[in-house]
C-alpha cells in the first residue's frame, strides 16, 4: 500500500527530456525552503552501485543477500531481490521526509509532471494517469493541465507546494 502520509510526485518523460536536470533544481529549491526530501530513481537497466574490490562488493560476491554500510553521516543498503518489487514496496522504505520525488515509474499512481521536449512526446499524455502538469520547452497551451516552461522550476515548486502539499508547513518533519 502506498504511504499516504508522505506526498509523492513523479517526473516522467522520454529519455533525454530533462527529468534529472529539472528535478535537481526542484530538490534544491525544496531543501532551501527547509523541507526534508526523498528521491527515488527508477532504472530500467541493471544499475551497479557497489565498487568492485571494495568490502561491500566482496560481501555481496561472497553471497550476502543484503549489504549495509554505515558511517556517521550516511546509511546505504543494497539488497539482491529474489523478484521485482512493486513501486509501493519501494516507497514503503521511506520515512521522516516531507515529500518524495520520483524520476520514472510512468505507469504508477502518483501525481505526475510530464516533461515534453518534442511534439511527439505528447503521445504519452493520454497513456498516463494523474498527469497534473507539463514542463516543456515548447510553446504549448493545454486546457486539461497547467503548462510550465521547463526552466521555470520556481513556478513548478510553487505549484507542487500548493497542489500537493497544501497547508503543510515548510520543513514540518525537520
- Could you read off the pLDDT of 114-161 as tens digits, one per residue? 999 999 999 999 999 999 999 999 999 888 899 999 999 999 999 999
**In a domain? residue 2:** no
Better-scored residue on pLDDT, 5 or 112: 112
Question: What's the CATH number where 106 sits?
Answer: 3.40.50.300
| Spatial CA neighbour of 40 closest among 2, 79, 91 | 91
Percent of the chain with pLDDT over 90: 51
Residue 41's pLDDT is what?
Answer: 86
C-alpha 159/C-alpha 136 separation (Å) is: 15
Q: Give residue 4's pLDDT.
A: 59
Burial class of residue 110, CB neighbours in 10 A (0-12, 13-18, 19+): buried
Given a contact cutoff of 8 angstroms between Cβ atoms, the answer to whether 44 and 103 are in contact is no
Query: Of 73 and 101, which is predicted with more confidence?
Result: 101
Residue 1 has pLDDT above 50, yes or no: no
Q: How many structural domains are present in the chain?
A: 1
Instruction: Please say if the pLDDT value at position 18 is more than 80.
Output: yes
Q: What is the rounded average pLDDT of the residues 32-52?
A: 80
**Residue at 59 is within a domain:** no
Mean pLDDT over all residues of the chain?
A: 87
Q: Examine the pLDDT at 22 and tell me if it is beyond 90.
A: yes
Residue-wise pLDDT tens digits, 43-80 = 665 666 677 888 888 888 888 888 888 888 888 888 88
Question: What average pLDDT does range 104-116 have in this prediction?
Answer: 90
Residue 88 has pLDDT above 80, yes or no: yes
Please report whether residue 28 resides in a domain.
yes
Question: Does the residue 20 lie in any domain?
Answer: yes
The whole-number pLDDT of residue 173 equals 44
Q: Which domain holds residue 106?
A: 8-46+83-165
Distance CA 148, CA 56 (A): 43
Residue 89 lies in a domain: yes
Is residue 101 in some structural domain? yes
Task: Determine the average pLDDT of the residues in 38-47.
Answer: 75
Instruction: State if pTM tops 0.85.
Output: no
Whether the CB-CB separation of 137 and 149 falls below 8 Å is answered with: yes
Amino acid at each position: 500500500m502506498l504511504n499516504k502520509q508522505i506526498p509523492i510526485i513523479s517526473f516522467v518523460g522520454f529519455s533525454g527530456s530533462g527529468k534529472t536536470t529539472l528535478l535537481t533544481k526542484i530538490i534544491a529549491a525544496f531543501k532551501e525552503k527547509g523541507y526534508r526530501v526523498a528521491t527515488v530513481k527508477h532504472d530500467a537497466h541493471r544499475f551497479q552501485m557497489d565498487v568492485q574490490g571494495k568490502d561491500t562488493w566482496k560481501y555481496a560476491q561472497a553471497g550476502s543477500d543484503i549489504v549495509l554500510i554505515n558511517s556517521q553521516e550516511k546509511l546505504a543498503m543494497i539488497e539482491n531481490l529474489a523478484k521485482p518489487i512493486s513501486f509501493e514496496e519501494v516507497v514503503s522504505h521511506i520515512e521522516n521526509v516531507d515529500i518524495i520525488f520520483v524520476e520514472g515509474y510512468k505507469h504508477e499512481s502518483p501525481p505526475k509532471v510530464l516533461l515534453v521536449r518534442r511534439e511527439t512526446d505528447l503521445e504519452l499524455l493520454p497513456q498516463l494517469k494523474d498527469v497534473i502538469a507539463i514542463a516543456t520547452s515548447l510553446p504549448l497551451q493545454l486546457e486539461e493541465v497547467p503548462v510550465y516552461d521547463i526552466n521555470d522550476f520556481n513556478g513548478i515548486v510553487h505549484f507542487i507546494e500548493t497542489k500537493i502539499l497544501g497547508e503543510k508547513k515548510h520543513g514540518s518533519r525537520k
